[in-house]
Structure 1
Amino acid sequence: MTLRRVNLIILVLLAVAFLIIVERNLLNLSDFLHTEHPDAEVILPFESELAPDLRLHLARKGEEIPVLISAAEDRLGAVVAAMNSVYQNSKANVVFTIVTLNDTVNHLKEWLTKTNLKNVKYKIVIFKPELINGKISKDLQTVDATKPLAFARFYLPAYIPEAEKAIYLDDDIIVQGDIQELFETSIKPGHAAAFSDDCDSASARGIIRGAGNQNNYIGFLDFKKEAIKKLGMRANTCSFNPGVIIANLTEWKSQNITQQLEHWMELNTHEELYSKTLADSITTPPLLIVFYKRHSTIDPMWHVRHLGTTGAGNRYSPQFVKAAKLLHWNGHYKPWGRSSSFSDVWDKWFIPDPTGKFHPMRRHAGDS
């Protein structure tokens, strides 16, 4: 036998021995991980690309991020799209608290359990309309903005009692960034919440001339009324949009924010400090009063607004909308309606209703 052949046989034997050792080490590593963490779903480094869903599941075991959203029956499609966008764009351990009415619970559960949202963590709580009895003027009872669920944000600590911090989202929202970043918004000492100012550079692009003073306090409150005068607020103070709220619930409770909001709601029923003639929403004015110069601010790119206002959304470039971390279709034109700006962005996150009850109007019209 030649020396060259002997060397070749030795190399082959060494290679086989090396492979056997590597295999045993990997098996031992797997056994060790399963022994140390028998209930864990273990992903070895070379498996990570083969199991993205499992990797995402493991990444959601950290600090819980409470997100509250209300769910009206006629807008369930919006709720589902918003939740889907939050869940898919973040590795955070998000836990949704969905505030709704009794008649909506079964429909909501079916939508969540029979679609891609079946792995989302959530709890459903029932809003009690009697909470706002006597706190809304009779002439405003039929206004859409006064539907009971619009006031769910006033009762954040009651719905998420165990949390120190929480996020509130309107349903006409799509989140394109990692919600962990929004959750980590800095709230100054003594402040119970953070909002997006209506004068910030990002949202100001969507303000339309002639639409009224909807970016300052005089657009929401009647400064001729004595109760408002006594507060000493400046009428031209920049307002804020409560469609996204980062709340310090510890401060919220210690400052009795809910009780303060209810006080101004009740006072309005007698003195008309704000009304539908001033603003479309009667949920915003009490918040403006209670949080006057006592709130922190949210990064403007985390609340790009006015996509649902006539012409306003068209002022945004597609590049700007793509870069925005949170989009809000506040205004009359909703992305599930017959016409709105950038409805194609909303469509990406909408999940069809398994019961067939909800259809985006424009899409349904095209199918019929």
Structure 2
Amino acid sequence: MKKNIVFCVDQRYVTQVLVAIKSLIANNDNMDIYIVNTDLPFEFFFKFKEELSGTNIRVIDWKISEDELKWDASFEYITKISYARLLLPDLLPDLNRVLYLDCDIIVTENIDELFTVELLDSGIGMTIDWLNYRTLVNRYNSGVMLIDCEIWRKNGYVEGLKAEVENRIETDMKADDQHVINGYFDYEDIYELPIEYNAQHGTTVLAVPQSYLDRFGEYAGGKIIHFTGPAKPWGDWGVIRGRRQWWEFNFMSIGQALQKNKEKQSKQQFLVYTRTENLRGILELSKAFPKVSFIVVAPTKASFKVIRLGAQTNIFVKELFKKEFYNYDDIKAVLMIGEYDDVKKDSQFYNKLNIPVLTYKDLAFDGVDYAYEAENVEDMVNEVQKYLN
């Protein structure tokens, strides 16, 4: 699945968007990263084209006219290019779904699962704003937005948002992009994304109510870390969460980001334990996750049908397997997907090692602690996805 990711940036935030892009590359692939801009020089993009040649990642120079951006919110840290996020379905007419990201973010894990979110009729997915989640006027943070462009075009949202900006400027209401989006959309029309996709650690250093600390203060994770507010990792603040990671990506080259991604992929392994040749869904899993290694092991001699699975580029077959002596450090989970073979004791062995065991409902044994029992192959594919980071 191709992921369409968009940044809107001017020359003030070149360093920050470079860091954000490298963090994406280090943790994800199969991406078209659009840089919506009016003034970035071609040299900014030349190195990406050179380094990313032969990969399934592109960084695209998407120039727009300054005439598209006629508003000025007069905020110290918000410039005209910030309003481009309101126009994305029109600026990128061939795209059906995009993930907009602010430049002051880093991506720390794989975010494929975010692109499978069903927005239903909402048209937009956002996380709550950590400082303003209780307000009636600014509840959702606009730094990470999953946008269904087709719904926006169908409902004329871009024109509606333009009118919202104009009205707010004329009536002296707050007219920055976040207030505009929150003011235009009814809250029931916004799909609320999990906070792990917009962990706003920039606000945790501020003087905030106890209710804020109770809800967000201990949240140290985040697949996408967003440095909201005045506390930025490239500034003088020394206690902000995610600061060290930002600097690591800052000093990392594009090539090193790609290598980091490659190293992570090499550790994406699932053990397929079997005593039969009929492995339900193994080819579908192989196709769904081409960069994941599926290691098929059998404690006996394997049939030719099983041996031939090794013709797939990401399936590896090992017969006469001794489970007691294997190194499981890189194994995400054990798949017990052999049809109607007696692997109860084998499954219990992996329970004792605290390695997740996945199977199908009709293949499950009593007395085994399964991490998941899938209904069908599609369900198993979706569950395996959750183990990938």
TM-score range, shorter chain: 0.5 to 0.7
What letter matches 1:147 in structure 2?
A: T
What do the CA deviations read for 1:137-162 (whole angstroms, capped 9, x no partner)?
A: xxx44x23441110111111123322
Mapping of residues 87-98 of structure 1, within 5 Å: 87-90=25-28, 92-98=29-35
State how far apart, in whole Å, the 1-side matches of 2:90 and 2:201 are.
30
SS in 2 for 1:334: coil
SS in 2 for 1:242: strand
SS in 1 for 2:231: coil
The corresponding residue for 1:167 is 99
What letter matches 2:179 in structure 1?
A: P
The corresponding residue for 1:105 is 41
Mapping of residues 342-357 of structure 1, within 5 Å: 342=241, 343-351=243-251
State how far apart, in whole Å, the 2-side matches of 1:317 and 1:255 are.
35
What letter matches 2:122 in structure 1?
A: H
What letter matches 1:215 in structure 2?
A: Y
State how far apart, in whole Å, the 1-side matches of 2:223 and 2:232 are.
19
The corresponding residue for 1:337 is 235
Decide whether the 8 Å contact of 2:45 with 2:60 is kept in 1.
Answer: no
RMSD, aligned CA = 3.0
Alpha-carbon distance change, 121 to 273 in structure 1, aligned in 2, over 3 angstroms: same
The corresponding residue for 1:263 is 163
State how far apart, in whole Å, the 2-side matches of 1:353 and 1:74 are.
20
The corresponding residue for 1:226 is none
State how far apart, in whole Å, the 1-side matches of 2:164 and 2:118 are.
27
Gaps of at least 5 residues in structure 1 are: 1-62, 208-213, 221-238, 276-281, 355-368
> Quick check: 1:182 aligned with 2:114?
yes
> Quick check: 1:78 aligned with 2:6?
no
Please report the TM-score for the alignment, with normalisation by the length of structure 2: 0.57
Mapping of residues 27-42 of structure 1, within 5 Å: none
CA drift of 1:311 comes to 3.8
Aligned residues: 246
Decide whether the 8 Å contact of 2:49 with 2:58 is kept in 1.
Answer: no
Please report the TM-score for the alignment, with normalisation by the length of structure 1: 0.60
**Structure of larger gyration radius:** 1
CA drift of 1:215 comes to 2.9
CA drift of 1:283 comes to 0.9
Mapping of residues 178-217 of structure 1, within 5 Å: 178-188=110-120, 190-198=121-129, 203=130, 207=131, 214-217=132-135
What letter matches 1:350 in structure 2?
A: N
SS in 2 for 1:84: helix
Alpha-carbon distance change, 85 to 353 in structure 1, aligned in 2, over 3 angstroms: closer
Alpha-carbon distance change, 176 to 165 in structure 1, aligned in 2, over 3 angstroms: same
CA drift of 1:195 comes to 0.5
Decide whether the 8 Å contact of 1:304 with 1:327 is kept in 2.
Answer: yes
State how far apart, in whole Å, the 1-side matches of 2:54 and 2:11 are.
19
> Quick check: 1:131 aligned with 2:26?
no
Mapping of residues 212-291 of structure 1, within 5 Å: 214-218=132-136, 220=138, 239-274=139-174, 282-291=176-185
Decide whether the 8 Å contact of 1:306 with 1:328 is kept in 2.
Answer: yes
CA drift of 1:129 comes to 2.5
State how far apart, in whole Å, the 1-side matches of 2:51 and 2:15 are.
12
> Quick check: 1:295 aligned with 2:190?
yes
Alpha-carbon distance change, 312 to 117 in structure 1, aligned in 2, over 3 angstroms: farther
Percent identity over the alignment is 17
Alpha-carbon distance change, 123 to 114 in structure 1, aligned in 2, over 3 angstroms: closer
Alpha-carbon distance change, 180 to 266 in structure 1, aligned in 2, over 3 angstroms: same
Alpha-carbon distance change, 98 to 117 in structure 1, aligned in 2, over 3 angstroms: farther
What do the CA deviations read for 1:45-103 (whole angstroms, capped 9, x no partner)?
A: xxxxxxxxxxxxxxxxxx2110001222122121111111112112x41110101222x
What letter matches 1:331 in structure 2?
A: G
Alpha-carbon distance change, 121 to 268 in structure 1, aligned in 2, over 3 angstroms: same
State how far apart, in whole Å, the 2-side matches of 1:309 and 1:73 are.
28
The corresponding residue for 2:329 is none
Decide whether the 8 Å contact of 1:127 with 1:152 is kept in 2.
Answer: no
Decide whether the 8 Å contact of 2:137 with 2:179 is kept in 1.
Answer: no
Gaps of at least 5 residues in structure 2 are: 255-389
Decide whether the 8 Å contact of 1:194 with 1:296 is kept in 2.
Answer: yes
Alpha-carbon distance change, 345 to 128 in structure 1, aligned in 2, over 3 angstroms: same
> Quick check: 1:153 aligned with 2:85?
yes
The corresponding residue for 1:310 is 205
Decide whether the 8 Å contact of 1:145 with 1:283 is kept in 2.
Answer: no
Higher relative contact order (CA 8 A, sep 6+): 1
